[in-house]
Structure 1
Amino acid sequence: MKLYIIITLIIHSYTVRSANICAECVCRDSAKDNQDFLGDNIDCSYYSGAILKTDYVLPSVVYSLDLSSNNITQLEQSGLLKSTTLIELSLNNNAIKEIKTKELHFPQLKWLDLSNNQLEYLDKDAFRNVNKLEYLNLANNRLTTHEKLGFHRLSNLNELILNHNDLGPSLMEANLFDRDGFGLTHKIQSLSISGINLNRVPDNFFSDAYDIRTLIISKNNLSDTFEFPFTLEYLDLSDNPIKEISEEDFSDLPGLKVLKLNNLRIKEVPEYVFTPLHGLGQLELERNKNLTVFSSLAFGREVLDDPDDFVLERLSLKGSRLTKLEKDLAVPFGQLNLLDLQGNPWRCDCELTWLKTLQIEPEYYEHLRCAWPKPFYNSKIFELDSKYFSCTLSTHHVGLIIAAITFCVTLALTAVYIFVYIPKHQSRGSCIANMASASTAYTMLPINSPRSEP
């Protein structure tokens, strides 16, 4: 009898444990999180045990499941990996090496995070049972070739993150949107391929990207720009060894709203480079250690006279090597909602006084400081009185000084010649007198001497 009771209690305990994942993890009703979809949000991150090996099952209606940071090395057939209602699944920060065909059974899944694992292999049918995916994050894995990636079944996929996989070499040979290549859907709207060891973007690389709005291609080895998809609204080219930018680079991006050009190798922002970007609202040019010239005509001539033509709202030039900006930029820069000029070695003279008239928020001028002249080194520009912003010598004055010095040197050399190189038997005084008389004789010559008739 006692044995029967013990067995019954064990079975009951196992059944309750099997049915109630919320006894081990944090469960919240999605309705309380103001989500349209009803169901539980289950957080099993940092679970202390082998969570997939334990016979847990999900509630009948579940919205999201977080299995991140559990040291999962292999996906197994588990009650936690089956649901007909699950929308979001987080498996990031584990040690998963491969995904096979029958391991994920979520016919309604739209959001999947597999970042920060050790994925080397994806079965060609790995996403067969999650074909409604709209968002997929595979960043920071060990994927290398397109043969181990197959996205052609994900006909609804519109955002893909492949950052920090060594995919650059294979992208030189395999087309992103070709079914024999990566097989990306033409519906893709956001693509992030940052840090994938890409040296060059082949011609027509994005020719089949009909609706791509966001492209992040930072932290690669690109030395030149390339043909951008004309549908782009967000472009990040940061952390590439690009040496030059020009107006032609951005001529076919009428809808671009955000442009990031941080940590390039450019030396100047040339004239008219941003004039084609009529809808640009945010521009970042941060940490460009070679950048010393920012043309006042970078946004065109019209914006210098009429601020209504200047649509940019946020501009950051922090952490570069700029020493001055032309006063002509006062009108367009005065229209900005955010201007960050910190971390540049500014030359605080009369040509920079106009900067103090701009309405810059205190949080963006804490490190807006002088590098020259030496007495004001590291002084905060907005705390330094305008009277100290002086130019001791203007260009006009310098020219006059040079002319005066030249005249004096000429006179001195003439004197040396007279008193040193004139023959000693000839008195220097008579020489001077002769020079004077000769001068007088010339002055007495008639100006218009009539010619004698023959």
Structure 2
Amino acid sequence: MISLLFFVFIALHSVSALSICNVCLCRTNRVENVLQQYIDCSRRDISMSNLTLPSDGYSLDLSSNKFDRLQNSSLFKSTTIIELFLNDNNLKEISANVLDFPELRILDLSFNKLETIHESTFTNLKKLQFLNLASNKFTSFEKLAFHHLSNLKEIILDNNDIGQSLRKVNLFDINGFGLTKNIRNISMYSVNLNEVPDNFFIEAYDIRKLVISNNNLSDVFEFPYTLEYLDLSDNPIKTISTEDFNNIPALRVLKLNNLQIEEVPCYVFEPLHGLKELEIERNKYLTNFSRLAFGDEALNDPDNFLLEQLSLKNSRLTTLDEDLLEPFGRLIKLDLQGNPWKCDCKIAWFKRLQIDPKDYEHLRCGSPKPTYNSKIFDLKPRYFTCPKQDRHFIGVTIAGVAFCIILALIALWFFVFVPRYQSRSNFTQSMYAPSAAYTVLPMASHFRE
């Protein structure tokens, strides 16, 4: 009887202390002579109770488990876990002090239904560096508390309707629960932001990456001086100028896709001496790309042209100036596909560019009709000519202008000189004309005498 009770106790104890690796997939990797346990519990519909984590746990994946809230459990306590994935659940609430991971660096809470982050939610996550809160139900930045995360380097706030609140609340409010000054990367894709207030980033001293795409911004704003990566895509921005990028000399990547700009003007990218990658894609109003977009130096001294990748695909460009051949010829990657290029003598230089074959499949002609939809790199040189009628038209135009000028000069000569000539003739005729006194004498008087 005693032995039976003993076995029952052992069985109950083993159930209460069931290792998570008995119900989830666990694998061990050796990294720099250190064993790291990766625990995959995604899509397992596991219960949070009666599961313990291994002593050498490194990564814990609890995504897609239909959790609606997090409560105190041994599943959320570990001194070794570095990565925690709770994305794609139905989380509406995280109780205070539930997450007890003093060594945690990465936390993914994206694609849940969270509306509030309690001020004590992150109390025990002092070393957290990456936080993903994308695609939740946040509507006010005031309901997000980050002041415990002094080591946070990157945050993703995509697809949360917090744009209106950001016009009133400082993102780095040191008196509230805003982001700390150590933040380096911020993503605010589609947060319904209409305007970036002045000095919005004035307290951000080390921001390197900013994604603020797919919002309602119509004007370019003041950027943090330290930026190295900037994505302004999918905003209704109508113009860009040199002043817009004048104060971010360290920028290396710039994305200006799907804006409402009609031209890329002169010198707009000249201040960006460190720019390595530039995307200007899907701009349906863009018809003009200035030969001086990168400044004079890019044309006169291409050795200082450091850009490596450029994409102008899927816009409305029809031609580019041949002066760009030298700087564009130095690019590692160039994509000009998806534009209605006018295949004439003005773009014959395209075929001299070193473009990867996979990047000219859709590099095709938009006009004239004989070359419509033809691959530019498949066309023979005879197709890249400017029609003779164009030159004839220019000649006729010049002749017409010259003829008009000559007529104008003749008319001017008559106006200035002809009136004077007529007045002198009249004067001469008056000198030799008979006197009026003689003309009135009657002829009959002579015979009477």
Q: What is the TM-score when the length of structure 1 is the normalising length?
A: 0.85
The equivalent position to 1:56 in structure 2, one of 47, 51, 55, is 51
Cα distance in 1 between the residues matched to 2:332 and 2:13:
60
Amino acid in structure 1 at the alignment position of 2:29: S
Cα distance in 2 between the residues matched to 1:223 and 1:313:
29
1:399: how far off?
Answer: 2.4
The equivalent position to 1:324 in structure 2, one of 319, 324, 344, is 319
The equivalent position to 1:372 in structure 2, one of 336, 346, 367, is 367
Aligned to 1:226: 221
SS state at 1:399 partner: helix
Query: Following superposition of structure 1 onto structure 2, how do residues 135-150 of structure 1 map, counting pairs within 5 Å?
Result: 135-150=130-145
Deviations 1:68-126 (A, max 9, x none): 11111111222211101111100001110112212111111111000010001111111
Q: Is the 8 A contact 1:146 1:181 kept in 2?
A: no
Aligned to 1:97: 92
Query: Following superposition of structure 1 onto structure 2, how do residues 431-450 of structure 1 map, counting pairs within 5 Å?
Result: none
Aligned to 2:343: 348
1:307: how far off?
Answer: 1.6
Q: Is the 8 A contact 1:288 1:320 kept in 2?
A: yes
The equivalent position to 1:124 in structure 2, one of 119, 122, 132, is 119
Query: Following superposition of structure 1 onto structure 2, how do residues 228-247 of structure 1 map, counting pairs within 5 Å?
Result: 228-247=223-242
Aligned to 1:437: none
Aligned to 1:22: 21
Cα distance in 1 between the residues matched to 2:33 and 2:125:
21
The yes-or-no answer on 1:201 pairing with 2:200 is no
Query: Following superposition of structure 1 onto structure 2, how do residues 239-318 of structure 1 map, counting pairs within 5 Å?
Result: 239-318=234-313
Amino acid in structure 1 at the alignment position of 2:228: E
Aligned to 2:65: 70
Aligned to 1:417: none
Cα distance in 2 between the residues matched to 1:212 and 1:253:
11
Alpha-carbon distance change, 182 to 265 in structure 1, aligned in 2, over 3 angstroms: farther
Q: Which runs of 5+ in 1 are unaligned?
A: 410-441, 443-451
Aligned to 2:392: 397
Cα distance in 1 between the residues matched to 2:33 and 2:186:
27
1:13: how far off?
Answer: 7.1
Deviations 1:354-399 (A, max 9, x none): 0010010011001111110112111111111121111113755312
Aligned to 2:78: 83
The equivalent position to 2:165 in structure 1, one of 157, 164, 170, is 170
Deviations 1:37-66 (A, max 9, x none): 64311111111x3331x4110011211100
Deviations 1:316-370 (A, max 9, x none): 0011000010100000000000000111111111111000100100110011111
Identical amino acids, percent of aligned pairs? 57
SS state at 1:41 partner: strand
Q: Is the 8 A contact 1:100 1:122 kept in 2?
A: no
Aligned to 1:426: none
Cα distance in 1 between the residues matched to 2:378 and 2:33:
51
Q: What is the TM-score when the length of structure 2 is the normalising length?
A: 0.86
Aligned to 2:352: 357
Cα distance in 1 between the residues matched to 2:345 and 2:176:
59
1:148: how far off?
Answer: 1.2
Deviates more, 1:73-82 or 1:232-241: 73-82
Cα distance in 2 between the residues matched to 1:182 and 1:380:
56
Alpha-carbon distance change, 385 to 297 in structure 1, aligned in 2, over 3 angstroms: same
Q: Which runs of 5+ in 2 are unaligned?
A: 405-420, 422-430, 432-449
Amino acid in structure 1 at the alignment position of 2:369: K
Cα distance in 1 between the residues matched to 2:360 and 2:184:
37
Amino acid in structure 2 at the alignment position of 1:43: D
Cα distance in 2 between the residues matched to 1:150 and 1:182:
5
Q: Is the 8 A contact 1:38 1:62 kept in 2?
A: no
1:408: how far off?
Answer: 11
Aligned to 2:106: 111
Cα distance in 2 between the residues matched to 1:178 and 1:30:
41
SS state at 2:131 partner: strand
Q: Is the 8 A contact 1:30 1:63 kept in 2?
A: no
1:243: how far off?
Answer: 0.4
Q: Is the 8 A contact 1:305 1:331 kept in 2?
A: no
SS state at 2:51 partner: coil
Alpha-carbon distance change, 57 to 308 in structure 1, aligned in 2, over 3 angstroms: same
Aligned to 2:411: none
